[in-house]
Amino acid sequence: MPNYYEITSPGWNYISSLGKSVAAYKKYFGESASLVADIGCRDAVDVLYLKSQLGAEAGIAVDANPDVSVIEPGITYRHTAISNYTGETTFQKISSEYDDLRGASSIYSSRLDENSEDFDPMYLLADIEVVTVPVTTMDDFIVAEGLEDTIIDFMKVDVEGYTGEFLSGYATHLSKVKMIHLETEFTSLHDNHASNADIAVYMRSQGFALVGIYIEWSYPIQEQLWANTALIDSSIEVQDFFDQVTNPNFDQLR
């Protein structure tokens, strides 16, 4: 089986790290999974890929963008942002013919704010509207879905600069995830932004090993793949790349 797959949309062609992440999952946890999840799912391509490649019975897809709708067999879709509190939040909703621009929709990113010096003119190609959406913590989400005693085999998280907030709202049930793929950033996207290094320090403190580092898009985005060492068979040797997390040139994808 190839260790990558390609996704193409107008003007873009990139190699996804999920193929290598699936291979890493099989190395540490075996050939199959029961439940996979994609937080910040956009078009649900990733959760469908994970479900297919790992033979999972079920998948969970979550996205804050009100334009997203996922109707697929075996996939439970929920419309909400995920952060460190429960209630409502404003959300920068991107409308564009380009999938990859729409996927940058965020609770707040300075790259999308025309009044910020960090504004990326690429987003002049899109319409950005600030809307109000529901928001919840991952721990509250788990309880609401009745998953308190359920192991999530593989979880992908792409919450556009809010990985730190996502994790701080997942203190109770994170230990029930076998493998988690996190999108992180070297540079700040908002005032309380947790950097890729901050995320790595926290995940290691929670008993996870950094088994993969990928530069799927380009700097400053870094994809981190974490394995829960408490759920890995003791006979399996774990390769940890924690010491490489601050190196912007370290990339196992290409």
Q: For the segment 65-123, what is each residue's pLDDT rounded down to a tens digit? A: 999 989 999 999 999 999 999 999 999 999 988 877 888 999 999 999 999 999 999 99
**Residue 116 CA: distances (Å) to CA of 93, 110, 112, 121, 234:** 17, 6, 8, 11, 49
pLDDT, mean of residues 53-58: 96
- Rounded to an integer, what distance in angstroms lies between the CA atom of residue 89 and that of residue 82? 10
Q: What's the N-to-C CA distance of the chain in angstroms?
A: 16
**Over 50: is that where the pLDDT of 10 sits?**
no
Which architecture does CATH list for 5-85+136-244? 3-Layer(aba) Sandwich (3.40)
- pLDDT > 70 fraction of the chain, expressed in percent and rounded: 94
Contact 56/33 with Cβ under 8 angstroms? yes
Q: For the segment 122-176, what is each residue's pLDDT rounded down to a tens digit? A: 999 899 999 999 999 999 999 999 999 999 999 999 999 999 999 999 999 999 9
Sign, Cα dihedral of 196, 1, 41, 215: positive
- Rounded to an integer, what distance in angstroms lies between the CA atom of residue 59 and that of residue 72? 10
- pLDDT > 90 fraction of the chain, expressed in percent and rounded: 83
Of 112, 115, 119, 122, which is closest to residue 91 (Cα–Cα)? 112
* Domain boundaries along the sequence of the chain: 5-85+136-244
- Rounded to an integer, what distance in angstroms lies between the CA atom of residue 66 and that of residue 212? 32
- In 10 A of CB 47, how many CB atoms? 30
Could you tell me the pLDDT band of residue 42, with boundaries at 50, 70 and 90? confident
What pTM, to 2 d.p., does this model score?
0.92
pLDDT, mean of residues 225-235: 97
